[in-house]
Amino acid sequence: MDALLIVEPFGFFTLDALRAGWYLVWRQVVRVVPVAVVGGIVGGLLTGFRMPVLGAVIIGLGVIVAVIWGAVLIPQLTSRWAEARYGHSLSGPVSVWWGVTWRVVVASLVAGVILTPPNLVTLSLSAAFKNSALGMLGQVLTGLLGVVNVIVTVMATGWAMSRVTDAQLSGLPVASASFPPAPIVGHPLPVVPTRIPAAAPVAPPVAAALPPSPPAPSVPAGRAGGKRQCPKCGLYETERGAVIGWYCTVCGWREGRR
């Protein structure tokens, strides 16, 4: 049975949300900003050559193209991120774009409302004390609040990406081959060592048993020095016993008693 994929959404103020949002934001920025910059440069040049209407049109077209391309990149980059992290891409570019965009917009509005009082204080300090230390402090705090707003937007983007991915991928079947096999329940069998110790001598291979040689043909008994010739091995190393009769001391032949 296949297992089910579980996608846990990130918390808003987490490092995972910051990483996911940064994955999308910087890839989007490096593609969109050059289009807007080129449109602004061309429009500025046309305005300088006394063609302000055409220059304004070019600048507006550059902004529109940059906005549309940025919107198209949101579902593409979110799908790539989901495939790289969970092994599945997302479907429905419009639903992915909407799911990420409305969450980022809401989070940015909430962050803007929360940061409005500090922004008013820092702007007041900058305006009231322009050439003093308080004025410089107000400008520094204004810059820091701007950085905080950008970080919150990036975190909101990563948080929204995880929410959309959870809505699409949670519960999808995952091949069981990607998981380690379940452990065997029960008493394990004893492990018998099969490796021969290095110091143990290894016995030489046993040669295959040869078939028994056929018995030597019967040879008429002869005499040599008073000894009878062995009909088995042909030698004269025979002796005569009082009980068993003639026998060979070499091959063990014995005279059959009748």
pLDDT at residue 184 above 50?
no
pLDDT at 251: 83
pLDDT 10s digits, 95-149: 999 999 999 999 989 988 998 888 888 888 888 887 788 878 888 888 898 899 9
Give the list of residues 6+ apart from residue 206 with CB closer than 8 angstroms, or none.
Answer: none
pTM attached to this predicted model: 0.61
Counting residues of the chain whose pLDDT is more than 70, the rounded percentage is 76
Domains of the chain, by residue range, sit at 3-178, 218-258
pLDDT at 181: 47
Alpha-carbon span 155 to 163, nearest angstrom: 12
Enclosing H/E stretch for 104? helix 93-128
Task: Please report, for residues 65, 94, 107, the alpha-carbon distance to residue 25 in angstroms, rounded to integers and kept in the order given.
Answer: 17, 18, 16
The pLDDT of 82-92, averaged and rounded, is 89
pLDDT at residue 51 above 90?
no
